Structure 1
Amino acid sequence: MLTVAGSDSGGGAGIQADLKTMLALGTHGMSVIAAVTAQNSVGVQGYWELPPEAVRAQLDSVLGDIGAQAVKTGMLASPVLVETVAEVLAGLDAPVVVDPVGVSKHGDSLLAPEAVETVKSRLLPTATVVTPNLWEVEQLTGVKVEGEDDLRRAADAVLALGPRWALIKGGHLPGEAVDLLTDGTTEHRYHAERLDNRHTHGTGCTLASAIASYLALGETIPDAVRQAKAYVTGAIANGFPLGAGIGPVDHAWHWRADKN
């Protein structure tokens, strides 16, 4: 399993959440770090992109020797980093899960405005599955989702940008947490109880990494999403306070549940 994303110094999201998820689900996680953030439970204090040649060297090193059975992308920050990663992924024969990270849980921007068009034109066409939240859907397509009835319209707009499947995450809508997965022909809806837990840092990274992990283990896309949502729901239910702000989800929740 390979994650291409940014490092979260607080350990709740980004590369750190990806690797914890991959381990929890029984896969071997590898990483290409595209950016470093100064980040904690109350926000992102700054981020620094790695040079594109450093990102490309990491990709070539890992894929040239070990290879990957699935890839997950997260924070890529700038047009040149998006282009660098997309160029490699376009020639890769493995499922790619794209989490089009635009903003942190605290509302801090993690994608330069000028990079949005590059994500749309270069990165999304490489995706087996793309997993935008409602804010990212609007950023990428201009479609504003105000209720569950808007999810399919949003998914069709995302699919028009080139991914094979779109998973529109409806977690910010009122009521049940409903996600819609479609390839434009078939449609799957995944429902979960809305949990009264504010410690949800890293949910998007965790879900995308879980989907990629299940794909690497041989699951179909609908089943990978179903199992990933169940895993994330449990992780949210067991999220815990850390620092003065929004704590992380618990990536090891099912290990603790098994012990009990």
Structure 2
Amino acid sequence: MQSDVISDMVPPVSRDLGQSLCIITGASRGFGRCLALQIAGLLKPRSVLLLVARSGDKLRELQAELAASEAGRAGLVVRCVIADLGQKEAVEETVRAAKETCPIDIDRLILINNAASLGDVSRFALSFTDPAEVDSYLSLNVSSALSLTAGVMSAFPQRQGMRRYVVNISSLCAVQPFPSWVLYCTGKAARDMMFRVLAEEEPDLRVLNYAPGPLDTDMQVEARANTGDTVVRSSFSAMHSQGQLLTCEESGVKLMKLLLDDDFPSGAHLDFYDL
């Protein structure tokens, strides 16, 4: 079983994340799905794992897999929110679901902002003449992450005995320009700065921008097929053919260790290859 393989890869330490509320956006596939399976094994019974994505069928499949896992049998509560976070109502629904399902006393609140889209990588910056097209992309990839974070943290204000974590799934594209990836690079750079500002404003929060490295996911398939810049496209194709892409499980293990060790500078941008 995939979940057995994943659990075997989690560092065999006698540590956990306590009784927590963990919210993962973009949880139906790829890295988000992997993180849900990995973090479930680190949560104490009666913790709540809130999975958010647009694909209801895939979310329910993941929910069933988690329910059948050791964590599920031990009392992990798994709830799905089927929603497009690019819409205000979806953000509000997610916050409401978190408040309804969360235990009164939790040790940790963990929000993992993973939901993202690649955007149209077949075109170059000067082709984006329609502001509505750009606004639509930024609504899902930037605005929703800020609004969801603000809503969740307001719903669960700081109190003694609880640690609050905000994880932004970042990218090398947040710090390095990729030709024909103007939307994706802009979104990732904006999110990094957004969460760096949050870390400065809210010193009680533990904020992390984690770049998981080049993952072997559907987004990578899309990048290899559609990237307009031939150099960038060839680079991704070479990484794939030479076996240089990372599995979601490999990268997820490092993020789990960061959360367990809890010694990263709040607001830091940490890359898989830095660790």
Structure with larger Rg: 2
Is the shorter-chain TM-score for this pair beyond 0.5, marking a shared fold?
A: no
Greater share of helix: 2
Q: TM-score range by the shorter chain?
A: 0.3 to 0.5
